[in-house]
Amino acid sequence: MGLTVFETNKKIHQRLLLFVFISLFIHLSVLFLLKSGLISYEKNISHQEKIVFIPLKKNLPIADIEKPQKEETPSKASAEGLYNQKVEKEMVAPSSGPQKKPSQRASQKTSPQKAPQEKSQTQKQAEALIFKKESPPSIPGMPEQAEKPFRPQGDFLPNYTIGNRTYLNTLANPNIAYFVELKRKFKLTFNPVPALRAHINEISRGKIDVILGVSVNAQGNIADLIVIRTSGIPAYDQEGIRTVRASSPFTSPPSNLLAPDNLLHMAWTFSVYL
């Protein structure tokens, strides 16, 4: 017995509804899975962003070096300078020492009146160490400390071989030119020996340093000068302060170095190794 046209259309309509429901169910399921996966993926990204730390580049001390005959970028640098320099063996220039320049102290030693006040062997050895050694700044990213006036050449860092001149692996950084200029001024003025001489018997072998906070305005004048960390020897702290004040005014700092308050804020470490 055959189907009527009405019954045939009814069956077709039922089948179409079934297909529509199945298709709708599949689409909703896919959308739900995609939405759940997207949210989960976003949560994973957010979680990763919280636990991943980007290592910051370690700031290097500033080295005032002469322009090398051939500039070459080192694989591992010990300092930043105005030029790239790559050397096989790092070394620093020897101290010229006060003995190369006659002083009143030397002439006084020959005077008979000063004979009873002759320094002890311990004092002589300690003073000799002060004349021979000094160090770069200890604050990463900040300008290097000044050098004594009787150390007019190169950079002098601890734990380096002594040679006829300074050879360090350095990376060129044009932004440090202003700090190199200040360092050259400071090294002509800084003289810690008189400040330390009175404390020779109290000083143990090691490092003595004072960290100064120096703010310079756009005209190169000192806006603020404070002791961030004392050396424990007031006279030595004052010598660092005297050095900065006596070296000013400075040239106007580059505008790109100025903070929003229109000042250049720096931390300088004046150090001596015994």
How confident is the model over 204-226, as a mean pLDDT? 90
Would you call 140 exposed, middle or buried from its count of C-beta atoms within 10 A (0-12, 13-18, 19+)?
exposed
**H-run or E-run covering 14:** helix 5-51
For the entire predicted model, the pTM comes to 0.48
Condensed to tens digits (0 to 9), the pLDDT of residues 73-118 reads: 666 666 666 666 766 656 555 444 334 444 444 444 444 444 444 5
- Confidence at 6, pLDDT banded by 50, 70, 90: low
Burial class of 15 by CB neighbour count within 10 A (0 to 12, 13 to 18, 19+): exposed
For the stretch 127-181, pLDDT in tens is 454 444 334 444 334 444 443 333 333 344 444 444 445 555 555 566 678 888 8
Give the pLDDT of residue 227.
95
Q: What is the pLDDT of residue 147?
A: 39
For the chain, how many residues are written?
A: 274
What amino acid is encoded at 32 in this protein?
F
The pLDDT, as a whole number, for residue 28 is: 75
pLDDT(240) > 70:
yes
| pLDDT score at 261 | 93
Mean pLDDT on 241-267: 93
Section 59-70 average pLDDT: 65
Cα(216)–Cα(250) distance, integer angstroms: 8
Tokens 């004594």 identify what position?
A: 148
Instruction: Check residue 144 and give its pLDDT.
Output: 45
Task: Provide, rounded to the nearest whole percent, the portion of the chain with pLDDT above 70.
Answer: 41
Query: In the block, which residue shows the tokens 């700092």?
Result: 253
